Amino acid sequence: MSITDILFHAAGGGVFGSALHLVTSVVDRKNQIALMEAQSKLVEQSEAWKAFSAAQTSTPSFDVPANAPAWASAAYTCVACLKDATRPLLTWGLMGVLVYVYSTATPSMRDQIAPEITFGAFTALMFWFGSRYCRK
């Protein structure tokens, strides 16, 4: 074995080793990025769930001052009742309309409107149950 063979073998091994090291470092970097993205999504979903849970709790009641006139107290009570009843009334009203439309349709029309009725029902239910945590 000559000195040139030894040099070329050493240089080839060094180049091959460096190339493999470069590939493993690129793969490790991609894995680290994927792990960081997964962790950030996990934190985001955890915070969204916390906000959703907080939105499900009842809102604290507003105390009407003791020296407020009776009409102001009654007006506040009516407004608070209306505010608390709006979502369920809209949801039940829309579900009632959907049931009425489907039940009065002819059998041939039921096949055509079934996807729209399903979409409307899910929209009404998700209006009540879904995405409350998005409110600022």
- CB hemisphere CA count around 7 (13 angstroms): 3
Regarding predicted confidence, which is higher, 101 or 2? 101
Give dist(CA 43, CA 33) in Å, integer. 15
Residue 135 scores a pLDDT above 70: no
Average pLDDT over residues 98-118: 89
The tokens of 83 are what?
């505010």
Q: Each residue of 51-106: pLDDT tens digit?
A: 777 766 656 666 777 788 888 888 888 888 888 788 788 888 888 888 898 899 99
Residue 131 scores a pLDDT above 60: no
Residue 2 scores a pLDDT above 80: no
Q: Each residue of 14-58: pLDDT tens digit?
A: 666 777 778 888 889 999 999 999 999 998 888 888 877 776 665
Q: Comparing C-alpha atoms, which of 41, 43, 58 is closest to residue 132?
A: 58
Regarding predicted confidence, which is higher, 110 or 84? 110
